[in-house]
Amino acid sequence: MLISFRNKPVRGLVDLSVLENSDATGLCEAQRRGEISIPEIATVYLDRIEALNPEINAIVALRPRAEILAEAEQMEQMDAVGPLHGLPMAIKDLAETKGIITSFGAPIYKDYVPTKDCLMVSRLRRAGALIIGKTNTPEFGLGSHSYNPVYGVTRNPYDLSRSAGGSSGGAAAALAAQMLPIADGSDMMGSLRNPAGWNNVYGFRPSYGLVPGEPGGDSFLHQLATSGPMARSVRDLELLLKVIGVPDSRDPHSTTAFSGMGQGDIKGTKIGWVGDWDKYYPMEPEVLDLCVRGLDTLADLGCEVHPVIPPIGPEKLWQSWVTLRNFAIASKFAPLFSDPVTRDLLKAEMIWEIERGLALTSLEVHEASVIRSEWFSAFATMEKVDMLAMPSAQMFPFDATLDWPKQVANQAMDTYHRWMEVVVPASLTGLPALCIPVGFGTAGLPMGLQLIGKRGDDARVLRVGHTYHEITGFPQKRAPGKK
């Protein structure tokens, strides 16, 4: 079942074409030129949320409409405070947001209202974002299917019976349905890439350290997760990354500020197509075909695309990944596990992660990190490749009533996250990875392609994606309800 935009009443003061024909960057430019006001922008998006969100369930903890519009009117009377001035945003429900319930999708925190913003959200506010609520996520961000006991299931706008992915599933679905102009997300195991591919939008996992982590706690051992942007164009990714990709002296991995993707020519960019890694990854029919079609477009744009088998086996990467993920999750959430009251409220997958993490020896963690180091070095020294290309998912969006898919292409999955193993090569070593839309299968469901660059090569990866978007424009040409 598709959602048709044209069958949903919208009360906005401006025509719907403002949304369909413009990305967030264009919307900001139009507002600065006086062609549209901040209250008008807010009204259009709030109307779309009112019309579409009851079915999709992407936006949660939405602030009262009158309160949002009053703030929009105040912003309209002010000089612009930053590049996002007046732009409506809903924050992923894993990021603490002052004055708005931040539940992490978990019953333990269903009534938790932070008294201050986390670092990333504070930067969005300073840049002028109008924060209207949160976007849905799986409980504590575990798994790539955005459902939880607090808010329920987020559904895919291209087929309401299917998952929107995760853990940034609410953000991706809201972008696809044009309920938000731009969105933040976070990515430990593909959470900016899997949902982007499944919702026909862009998601970018930056190089680790480009977007500083929250100050406090350990800063050295756990380097698997990062925040990043999601959008309906690559220049919108650039817009948001300039805001959140700014150094913080308290983060030892913090790099120089992101200054933009630049204007360099992408011709001659060497892309190594990994595909299913010599049949290691089970893939549903059509996934690889759609990705190859996207690579053909990149080849037409001057990129040099050729098959490649990386020098380290994917089974070793998985071994390293599972160990380091268990270690990271147990380190963070062991206190909830130790308390019988909160332990009873944890999802089974969280308990599985913590129990495995607590059972690890220091030598096992060390060996996993050695594999991680070997993989980083191997890719960094691959002279015939500037970036790798892999599908953003091994299957199309699955039944939204499931907790997770138990098999892919008739092959059984032995963990709750094995079905999304294809995202591990970038996540394991903090590499920049961009998900670009590559079209739709015969069932009308979207698919994406990961472009994985070398550490620090964020601008180049985004330039390739931007050039591709200028030719394809998938999010604009094929919104939900469009044929």
Q: What is the mean pLDDT of residues 51-68?
A: 98
pLDDT of residue 8: 47
Percent of the chain with pLDDT over 90: 94
For residues 40 and 31, is the Cβ–Cβ distance under 8 A? no
Q: What is the mean pLDDT of residues 112-117?
A: 98
Six-digit token string for 336: 């909830």
Torsion over CA: 68, 52, 393, 259 (sign): negative
Q: Are residues 342 and 202 in the same domain?
A: no
- Would 375 be classed as within a structural domain? no
Residue in 150, 125, 130, 154 with CA at minimum distance from that of residue 140: 150
pLDDT of residue 10: 43
103 is catalytic: no
CA atoms within 13 A on the CB side of 185: 41
Residue of 191, 227, 254, 427 marked active site: 191
Q: Are residues 12 and 86 in the same domain?
A: yes
**pLDDT at 12 > cutoff 70:** no
Torsion over CA: 365, 368, 372, 378 (sign): positive
- Would 373 be classed as within a structural domain? no
Burial class for 93, CB neighbours closer than 10 Å (0-12, 13-18, 19+):
buried
Q: Are residues 56 and 180 in the same domain?
A: yes
Q: Are residues 306 and 325 in the same domain?
A: no
pLDDT digits (tens, 9 = 90+) for 422-477: 999 999 999 999 999 999 999 999 999 999 999 999 999 999 999 999 999 999 99
When divided into structural domains, the chain yields a total of: 2
**pLDDT at 15 > cutoff 80:** no
**pLDDT at 43 > cutoff 70:** yes
pTM: 0.96
pLDDT of residue 22: 84
For residues 147 and 153, is the Cβ–Cβ distance under 8 A? yes
Among 334, 367, 400, residue at a domain's last position: 367
N residues, the chain: 483
Q: Which residues constitute the domain of residue 356?
A: 316-367
**pLDDT at 339 > cutoff 80:** yes
Q: CATH no. for residue 111?
A: 3.90.1300.10
Tell me which DSSP letter residue 142 carries. -
Residue of 37, 92, 163, 254 marked active site: 92
Q: Are residues 244 and 293 in the same domain?
A: yes
Six-digit token string for 406: 């138990």
DSSP string, 12-48: -SS-THHHHT--HHHHHHHHHTTSS-HHHHHHHHHHH
Task: Find how far residue 64's CA is from the centre of its chain.
Answer: 26
pLDDT of residue 481: 82
Q: Are residues 337 and 211 in the same domain?
A: no
Comparison of pLDDT for 483 and 123, the residue scoring more: 123
- Would 482 be classed as within a structural domain? no
The overall average pLDDT reported for the chain is: 95
Residue 289: how many other CB atoms lie within 10 Å = 13
Distances (CA, A) of 73 to 41, 61, 84, 353: 11, 21, 15, 46
Q: Are residues 302 and 195 in the same domain?
A: yes
CA atoms within 13 A on the CB side of 260: 4
- Would 376 be classed as within a structural domain? no
- Would 372 be classed as within a structural domain? no
Q: Are residues 252 and 193 in the same domain?
A: yes
Q: Are residues 359 and 457 in the same domain?
A: no
Task: Find how far residue 122's CA is from the centre of its chain.
Answer: 19
pLDDT of residue 7: 45
Comparison of pLDDT for 16 and 195, the residue scoring more: 195
In 274-391 the beta strands, taken as DSSP E runs, fall at 304-307, 387-391
167 is catalytic: yes
Residue of 103, 144, 163, 167 marked active site: 167
Q: Are residues 248 and 281 in the same domain?
A: yes
- Would 483 be classed as within a structural domain? no
pLDDT of residue 20: 67
pLDDT digits (tens, 9 = 90+) for 91-101: 999 999 999 99
pLDDT digits (tens, 9 = 90+) for 178-189: 999 999 999 999
191 is catalytic: yes
Q: What is the mean pLDDT of residues 385-393?
A: 98
Q: Are residues 252 and 349 in the same domain?
A: no
- Would 70 be classed as within a structural domain? yes
pLDDT digits (tens, 9 = 90+) for 400-424: 999 999 999 999 999 999 999 999 9
Q: Are residues 258 and 178 in the same domain?
A: yes
**pLDDT at 482 > cutoff 80:** no
- Would 155 be classed as within a structural domain? yes
